Chains A and B, each alone.
Chain A
Amino acid sequence: EVQLVESGGGLVQPGGSLRLSCAASGFTFSDYYMDWVRQAPGKGLEWVARSRNKANSYSTAYAASVKDRFIISRDDSQNSLYLQMNSLNTDDTAVYHCVRLRVDARSIDHWGQGSLVTVSS
């Protein structure tokens, strides 16, 4: 059974940093693209970042709203995905979901429950 479990969320002041982790199990992690998707309170879904798989050189992509502030990374030996979030602002307050893409990247096929990040003074 595929499982994605996020951790590392919490309350942080504007300008601060936080690192989210996602522990994956139930599949060969290195074979898959992995993304972060967020949902701000009362708002819709927003794609945040992508980590492609080993076959695609672990290349990355970012939403414009987080580019140059957030860094997505992965450790295939630990079956883990990370999101380093820097220079946080109140607009980054959201539940952050770790998600797995289908092998053909045509959709997200598994979602984690999410980790809440609150940016507030």
Chain B
Amino acid sequence: DVQLTQSPSFLSASVGDRVTITCRASRVIDNHLAWYQLKPGKAPTLLIYAISTLQSGVPLRFSGSGSGTEFTLTISSLQPEDFATYYCQQLGSYPLTFGGGTKVEIK
């Protein structure tokens, strides 16, 4: 199985901060890497797919990058509505796996 390790698992940041979340895979994966945002009581939403492609309607402050075994999600200027939990997912091999999540809270 491909293990995905997200770091940090928790981060405290202020509005306007640049935030970077890392997702490391236990082996090289192709570009089937996606990022999701989860908020309590709401359905999760897709932010990024294929490592760096922004889903339609997602603000441009979100971006994804990486290759091989290391991938990042960056929020260029954190907004109040971005305080949430973020997960990476690999869809290249079975079983599909998720990272452990990164909770972004207000500093």
Query: Footprint of B on A, CB under 8 Å?
Result: 35, 44-47, 50, 61, 63-64, 97, 101-102, 105-114
A113–B98 Cα distance when bound, in Å, is 18
Q: Are A105 and B91 in contact (CB under 8 A)?
A: yes
With CB as the reference atom, state the residue of chain A lying closest to B85: A44
| 24 chain-A/chain-B pairs, Cβ below 8 angstroms | A35-B96, A44-B98, A44-B101, A45-B36, A45-B44, A45-B87, A47-B89, A47-B97, A61-B94, A61-B95, A64-B95, A97-B44, A101-B91, A102-B49, A105-B91, A106-B49, A106-B91, A107-B46, A107-B55, A107-B91, A108-B36, A108-B46, A108-B89, A111-B44
Residues on A with beta carbons closer than 8 Å to the beta carbon of B38: 45
B interface majority secondary structure: loop
With CB as the reference atom, state the residue of chain B lying closest to A99: B44
Q: Are A112 and B43 in contact (CB under 8 A)?
A: yes
Q: Which 5 A-B pairs have the closest CB atoms?
A: A107-B34, A107-B49, A47-B96, A45-B98, A111-B43
Number of A-B contacts (CB under 8 A): 61
Q: Are B34 and A47 in contact (CB under 8 A)?
A: no
**Most chain B CB inside 10 Å of its own CB: which residue of A44, A64, A107, A109:** A107
